[in-house]
Amino acid sequence: RKEVEQDPGPFNVPEGATVAFNCTYSNSASQSFFWYRQDCRKEPKLLMSVYSSGNEDGRFTAQLNRASQYISLLIRDSKLSDSATYLCVVNTDSWGKFQFGAGTQVVVTP
């Protein structure tokens, strides 16, 4: 079983709509959680950290559910520029042990 699992998608989303997707992780000792965005043929870039209480950054909302061991990302009012692959990243308290999900592809259409 993979340590971090994501629905690969693609999620085809009309411009202006809302899309949400989850990521599950297997290590209950995981300490920190992130969403990264990766555009085609580019490096991953941090989108947001995910905090226990949930957090929002503009149109993006991230939630953490430790009991069920998943994190979620919700994108409101989708823009064409939101089209990308969203990587779920989970870290235990070991140095550099970032576990990456395979990514969820989002395609926002006009």
Q: Pick the binder of another protein from 42, 59, 66, 79 (CB under 8 A).
A: 42
Q: Pick the binder of another protein from 22, 32, 69, 72 (CB under 8 A).
A: 32
Q: Is 101 helix (H, G, I), strand (E, B) or coil?
A: coil
Which backbone phi and psi does 28 adopt, to 5 degrees? Answer: -65, -15
What is d(CA 10, CA 58) in angstroms, rounded to the nearest whole number? 23
Number of residues that bind another protein (CB under 8 A): 22
Peptide bond into 44 cis (omega under 30): no
Find out whether 24 and 7 touch, Cβ atoms under 8 Å.
no
* 44 forms part of the interface with another protein (CB under 8 A): yes
Contact range with another protein by CB under 8 A, out of 9-17, 27-35, 54-62, 71-79: 27-35
Q: Pick the binder of another protein from 11, 25, 34, 86 (CB under 8 A).
A: 34
CB 100, min distance to another protein, A: 4
Sheet holding 19-25, edge to edge: 4-6, 19-25, 70-75, 60-65, 55-57
* Footprint of another protein (CB under 8 A): 31-32, 34, 41-46, 49, 87, 91, 93-98, 100-103
